[in-house]
Chain A
Amino acid sequence: MSASNSIALEARDLTRIYGRGSEEVRALDGVSLQIRKGEFVSFMGPSGSGKTTLVNLLGCLENPTSGELDLAGRRIFGNGEVVGERDLTRIRREIFGYIFQNFYLIPTLTVRENVALPLAFYRKPGVEGEVEALLKQLGLEHRMNHLPGQISGGEMQRVAIARALVNRPEILLADEPTGNLDTTRTGEIGEILQQLNRSTGLTILMVTHNPDLGRLGGRHIEMRDGRACEA
């Protein structure tokens, strides 16, 4: 019982096939893995190996072609039916925060408003004061009334991280979070993620091409041709 409690997610035989014209692309080819709460997992591998496809499935951004996914012991995919967009949204806002290579900040809203944006749609109980706390924690206090166009790329990604965390997710999904940043900024973001993982026990699944960044995770998964192998 206590063992299953500490499992954040478990995937069995996850497969995703994309149709491209008449041919099929097996983007993900039967991946099984188990991730415990509080783990910092990095996914690496060549381009097109299925990293994004995998984390998107784990993050409930889309349905797999086949296979099963359990989140905190609860079956999400694999019941033999496609999970609808509304149900996926409900799962996502309870469990996940997402950051991407592009920051997708709303250019007309200030840093502070961007961080608070998710609360306009959904507010987990007990997240009062979270915006301020995150701004402070991520060193954005002096920038909070700036617009995204007025801050640096590293700061933008920090805003995106704060925005992803404002509803206190259990799992942060980061797909190439430093893909648009230089080495210094990359190190900065890496440190922040590591710190979040250590201090709050946040589970992090991060896709990266950067070996230095990949090394930060406590666990490495190498992707190749839609299959995963533990390094």
Chain B
Amino acid sequence: MISKFQIASKNLLRKKTRTGLTLVGIILSSWVLVSLLGFNRGYEKALNRDIDNMGYQIMVMAKGCPYEAATMMLQGGAGLRYIEEDVVKTIKARPEVDKVTPILMQAFFDPNKGDGGGIAGYFGVDLATFPAMKPFLRFHKGGWFADANAAEAVMGYEAAELEQREVGDLILVPEKNVQLKVVGILQRTGTQDDGTIFVPLRTLQKISGLDKITTIGIKAKKDADLTGLEASLYQLPDMQVVSFSQVKQTIMKLIATARVMVLSIAVIALLIAMVGVVNTVLMSVLERKHEIGILKTMGAMPGDIFRLVWTETLILCASGGILGIGLALVFARLSDLLVRRALPYAPGGELVAIDPRLSLLTLLTIVAVGLLSGMYPAWKAGRIRPLDSIRSDA
């Protein structure tokens, strides 16, 4: 015939504007909530991925601020000091070490890059060890260099895209006027590798007029004692050790405050929306005092009325929550963009990660909080006595 659910939902349609506005409040707050939760999760995941995709857990470089160095490395920075190449052998000899690769980072000013020029990041890498350390690098086109001294380059996806390079093209190293032949273009990784140009280590050393390196990437053996290894690496003279778990911790600490604030905002938004729900439902209960009284003359128990009004809250919160989460999913990339702008360091890839589990969790939270706030109006409605409805307008 007619169910309580129908009665409740039709009642919500009575005051469309009021219901609509309340709904908008819930939609917005669930959108914010799920996006922020998604960010909390996605950022850490993206950061982890960035760090895993470095291929090495520990980096050794000449003394300097390690965090700055790490950030520079992640962003393809410049101005680093140099290390003698034999250090590689010393490190390789340690029992915990699985793989070691020497890297020379160079940054050249390219006047043709962007508006008013920009820094082009070049990585001199060792053909024998670097690809092995990053087996997950896939080629979009071409492959690694022919030999360790080739005048060749492998370009990150974005670097190639930016300069419109194809395999076979010749590129000119800025400042040095040396030509290199593009032999490979990497697939997009979502990391800083995308913007880097890789050159054989010897070739880059020759171009730069150096016989040193800037960095050593170290991959420890499985189950090796990382802390012990780090400690022993610290014994090397004038060397800075950067462990990526440390870097990650530092970055996470930096954004922790931001995350707490952002979550507080989400919680406040949710609370405001819920106050709206209480207000709307309470108003509609008071307006319907007569009708509710009449329902009681028809045999509705206080519990029936409670559930009826509670159902209204449920409908509001569930539909608002679903719509809000839906919007958050649709506009996840937009949120990503906004978040990326606001952050000092943003890893590549998806920052706002909203998966079905998180969506469900958010929805359940909203419905639970909604049901909680719906209790008062529902209880109030349940207590209306039939006589109130007949007497109060006599």
Contacts and interface: CB of A to CB of B under 8 A. Distances in A.
Interface of A: 52, 56, 61-62, 85-86, 89, 92-93, 96, 98, 100, 102, 104, 106-109, 113, 116-122, 131, 163, 167, 175
B75 interface: no
- Taking residues whose C-beta sits less than 8 angstroms from the other chain, chain B's interface range is 20 to 34
A89 B7 contact: no
Contacts, number: 79
B290 A117 contact: no
A121 B300 contact: yes
Nearest to A176: B394
Interface in B281-334: 290-291, 293-302, 304
**Chain A CB within 10 A, most for which of B1, B11, B302, B389:** B1
B14 interface: yes
Nearest to A160: B294
Given A56-B387, A89-B301, A113-B2, 6 more contacts: A52-B391, A92-B386, A93-B298, A106-B11, A109-B7, A113-B1
B93 interface: no
Closest A-B pairs by Cβ, 3 of them? A93-B299, A122-B299, A118-B298
A100 B386 CA distance: 12
Given A92-B299, A108-B10, A121-B299, A61 B2 contact: no
A129 B302 CA distance: 27
Contacts of A175: 390
Given A89-B300, A89-B301, A119 B14 contact: no
B302 A85 contact: yes
Contacts of B1: 113, 116, 119-120, 131
B385 interface: yes
A116 B295 CA distance: 12
Nearest to B301: A89
Contacts of B298: 93, 117-118, 121-122, 163, 167
B13 interface: yes
B223 interface: no
Contact of A62 (B10, B13, B304, B387): B387
A163 B14 CA distance: 21
A108 B13 contact: yes
A92 B390 CA distance: 15
Contacts of B295: 117, 121
B297 A92 contact: yes
A131 B2 CA distance: 12
10 contacts: A85-B385, A89-B299, A89-B300, A100-B390, A102-B393, A116-B2, A117-B2, A118-B299, A120-B7, A167-B298
Contacts of B4: 120
B297 A56 contact: no
Interface of B: 1-4, 6-7, 10-11, 13-14, 290-291, 293-302, 304, 385-387, 389-391, 393-394
A123 B300 CA distance: 11
B167 to A, nearest CB: 68
B115 to A, nearest CB: 61
A4 B295 CA distance: 31
Contacts of A167: 298-299
A56 B389 CA distance: 12
A96 B297 CA distance: 8
A121 B1 CA distance: 11
Contacts of B296: 89
Contacts of A52: 390-391, 394
A16 B293 CA distance: 21
A165 B117 CA distance: 87
A82 to B, nearest CB: 13
A20 B295 CA distance: 28
A64 to B, nearest CB: 13
A61 B299 contact: no
Contact of B2 (A86, A107, A120): A120
Contacts of A98: 294, 297
A119 B3 CA distance: 9
Contacts of A118: 298-299
Nearest to B7: A120
A104 B2 contact: no
Contact of B14 (A56, A107, A116): A107
Contacts of B6: 113
A89 B6 CA distance: 23
Given A85-B385, A98-B297, A118-B299, A108 B14 contact: yes
B386 to A, nearest CB: 5
B203 to A, nearest CB: 79
Nearest to B304: A121
A92 to B, nearest CB: 6
B285 to A, nearest CB: 14
Nearest to B385: A85
B161 to A, nearest CB: 58
A86 B10 contact: no
A93 B295 CA distance: 11
Contacts of A113: 1-2, 6
A118 B299 CA distance: 7
Contacts of B291: 104, 106
Contacts of B386: 61, 92
Contacts of A122: 298-300
Nearest to A52: B394
Nearest to A124: B299
Given A61-B390, A117-B298, A118-B298, A109 B385 contact: no
A92 B293 CA distance: 13
A119 B383 CA distance: 21
